[in-house]
Amino acid sequence: MELKISPNTVLSETVRVLRKAIVEGRFKPGDRLVEAELCQMLNVSRPSVREALRRLEAERLVDIIPNKGPVIPLMPWEHAEQIYKTRMLLEGEIAALAARMAKPADISDLRLALEAFEDAARRGDAARQISSTKAFYDIVLRIAHNPIIAEILEGLHARISFLRGKSMSRAGRALASAEELSWIANAIADGDEEAARGMAVMHVTRAAEAAFEVYANSAPQEGD
């Protein structure tokens, strides 16, 4: 029996692996991405790499510059700050909606996601910190039943994950984040809409403060 991987599967996996590498900081802002090297690293064809880079360009994780090729874009603090302000508005609202609509099974799912993030924070596992934070918020979004907010946040997902990696690289930030997510989960479980909104906004505010510290201590071109 012959099993074949479809071209769509190869492309999706190529996008996923490259996205993960960028978000986790294996490629740095300003790095040039050489297609031939990526083909060798990923063991995929050049057309797959080229299309994957185009998709990542749409997510703003890659810039494809004429006569130079794909590079990892710099994200100035002003841009990052606008993402955090957008998150404050949207994540505060979805937390409040989740508090209004959550059922016992939803709370159980939220607690499990929180436990996964807490474990990643204790172990200092940066990749799992990012993925488990997204899993927590995906459940909040599911509970909130607002597909428009979900669509907007999904469009920002890659850049949000990049910034999460930044903020949680500050010493102690991941453990503090775990505590803040527990406050959000408790407010949702209690059905307290205003507390859930307030805790979500506070969490994003503190994440922005941590990211700003990391930016301030980074190379000048990354923070200016």
Q: Provide the pLDDT for residue 219.
A: 54
CATH class for the region spanning 7-71: mainly alpha
Encode pLDDT of 8-46 as tens digits.
Answer: 688 999 998 998 888 877 888 889 999 999 999 889 999
- Per residue in 186-223, pLDDT (tens digit) is 999 999 999 999 999 999 999 999 999 999 987 544 43
What pLDDT was estimated at residue 218? Answer: 77
Instruction: Say which CATH superfamily domain 77-223 falls into.
Output: GntR ligand-binding domain-like (1.20.120.530)
Mean pLDDT of 52-65: 91
Q: Delimit the domains of the chain by residue range.
A: 7-71, 77-223
Q: What is the pLDDT of residues 76-105, one digit of tens each?
A: 999 999 999 999 999 999 999 999 999 999
Q: Do domains 7-71 and 77-223 have the same CATH topology?
A: no
Kindly tell me the burial class for residue 121, based on how many C-beta atoms sit within 10 Å of its own C-beta (0-12, 13-18, 19 or more): buried
pLDDT for 137 beyond 90: yes
Q: What percent of the chain clears pLDDT 90, i.e. is strictly above it?
A: 73
- What is the pTM (predicted TM-score) of this model? 0.82
- What distances in angstroms separate CA 117 from CA 32, 107, 136, 146, 182, one per listed residue? 32, 15, 8, 24, 10
